[in-house]
Amino acid sequence: MEEGSGCSLPRLPWVWAQRTFMLALLGLVIYCIFNNQHRAQREASGMSLKKRITSAADCDEGWMEKRGPLTKGTLQTCVLKFVFLSGPRQDPRLSWQAGPALGRSFLHGLELVDGQLRVHREGTYRLHIQVTLTNCSSTWTPRPRRATLAVGICSPAARGISLLRLSFQYACTVTSQRLTPLARGDTLCTNLTLPLLPSRNADETFFGVQQVHP
């Protein structure tokens, strides 16, 4: 009499479901850790940039008070505030202003023409900008696809070039800086995707230029 051969029982479906659930949970945990680290780095970068800009503003204002009016060898610098509009934006270009009444805002050796910054002396400049969207939540606020902030030379047309292009993606704030050579007469424009509106808080939205070398 032959002994019956053993047979393996089929795996229960819930075993595979359990494994799938555990893998999905592990992936979610890894995503959350990576996302939190990326957000912390972005916030730290923005805070660090803001501190450097504020420090530069303090230094330049104090130096100008001691040295008096601009001379031939004076380096040019500015920190500008966003001109808040009550109605919807019709022009992608942001307008800027400067003056003692605006707090930590000044314009030394440069010029504002229709809210855009014009350079009067050739040299190497450090550009720094931060824009925070008003009424924005990184989780719930809808934004146009590919919402961007761009800084470039818009005049004269022969020198037109993009200097910075920042994507908001799922953030409410973008911030960056760079060194770039600028020529006499260059006008810098900052374009923000319509109809997005920057915050009017001077600590959240600002634009600055500092000449670092003649």
- Domain presence at residue 188: yes
Number of compact structural domains in the chain: 1
Q: 110-128: buried (b, 16+ CB within 10 Å) or exposed (e) per residue?
A: bebeebbbbbebeeebbbb
Q: Is 26 helix (H, G, I), strand (E, B) or coil?
A: helix
Q: What's the pTM value of the predicted model, to 2 decimals?
A: 0.63
Mean pLDDT on 163-182: 93
**DSSP state string for 128-175:** EEEEEBTT--TTT----TT-EEEEEEEESGGG-EEEEEEE-TT-SEEE
Q: What is the pLDDT of residues 6-55, one digit of tens each?
A: 555 455 566 677 777 777 778 777 777 766 665 555 554 444 444 444 43
- Domain presence at residue 114: yes
- Domain presence at residue 48: no
What are residue 108's DSSP bridge partners? Answer: 77
- Give first-to-last CA distance, the chain, whole Å: 104
Q: Which domain holds residue 173?
A: 77-213
Q: What is the pLDDT of residues 183-206, one digit of tens each?
A: 999 999 999 998 888 998 888 999
- Domain presence at residue 90: yes
Name the residue type at position 181: P
Q: Is 112 helix (H, G, I), strand (E, B) or coil?
A: strand
